[in-house]
Amino acid sequence: MTTLALPAAPAVTRVGDVDNRAAYAGFGSAYVLGHGATAVSRGDDPLFALPGWLPPALLVAGLAAGTVFSTLGATRAQRGADKRTALIGQLLGLSWITGFAALFLAITGLTTISGAADLPTVLWPTGSGLVVGLLYIAEGVARRNLVHYALGSWLALISTIALVAGTPGLFWILAIAGGGAYALALVLERRRLAHIR
């Protein structure tokens, strides 16, 4: 009987370089399954009647996996780093907390001022994509990773463009354009890592 095993991570030669493949797979699945499940179950004539808890559960599971893999990858990359490189990694990590705290405050404030109780349904997925995209851009610059930079640019743009689509359109855009971008980034990341062995 043959068993399938995940390929071993390549020996990255540059200290501070992160292998993002597992994180891309986790976040990509959150986009495809989480936003995709929301897209097919919302609107005037939904394609499927899914339990209300399922789309958020799929989204959270993918985001949790992506976050764990991202944290492990960043931690692994910091081994043997000098103080300057380690500080860059720590500041990038703290930027995620700052970015999402600011997003929470913005969405809470806008919802309170507008009185539109359904506003968070639109702003959380699109705002999260914008924040993640901008953070990926910063990480791409700091780590000289063009794949990460390009993915961040794409996520920031499609997340803000998706706002004009309303619901469920924005979820279709995030699932297809966002999930597809993560799939492409996964392939490109494999090639990038092969070139720095």
Give the start-end residues of each E strand in 110-184: none
Q: What is the pLDDT of residue 80?
A: 78
Q: Is 183 exposed, middle or buried (0-12, 13-18, 19+ CB in 10 A)?
A: middle
| Strand ranges in the chain using DSSP code E only, listed in sequence order | none
Q: Which sign, positive or negative, has the C-alpha torsion 194, 88, 63, 165?
A: negative
Rounded CA gap, 126 and 158, in Å? 8
pLDDT tens digit sequence for 87-96: 888 898 899 9
Question: CA angle at residue 37 from 101 to 63, to 5 degrees?
Answer: 35
Tens-place pLDDT, residues 140-185: 999 899 999 999 999 999 999 999 998 899 999 999 999 999 999 9
Q: Does pLDDT of 26 surpass 70? A: yes
Q: Is 119 exposed, middle or buried (0-12, 13-18, 19+ CB in 10 A)?
A: middle
* pTM of the predicted model as reported, rounded to 2 decimal places: 0.85
Burial per residue of 49-78, b for 16 or more beta-carbon CB atoms within 10 angstroms, e otherwise: eeeeeebeebbeebbebbeebbeebbeebb
Per-residue pLDDT of 30-82, as tens digits, reads: 999 999 999 999 877 878 888 888 988 998 998 888 888 888 888 887 787 78
CA 184 to chain CA mean position, Å: 13
* Cα–Cα dist 182/187, whole Å: 9
pLDDT band at 195 (very low <50, low <70, confident <90, very high): confident
Q: Name residue 109's amino acid.
A: G
30 contact partners, CB below 8 Å, separation of at least 6: 58, 59, 60, 61, 62, 63, 65, 66
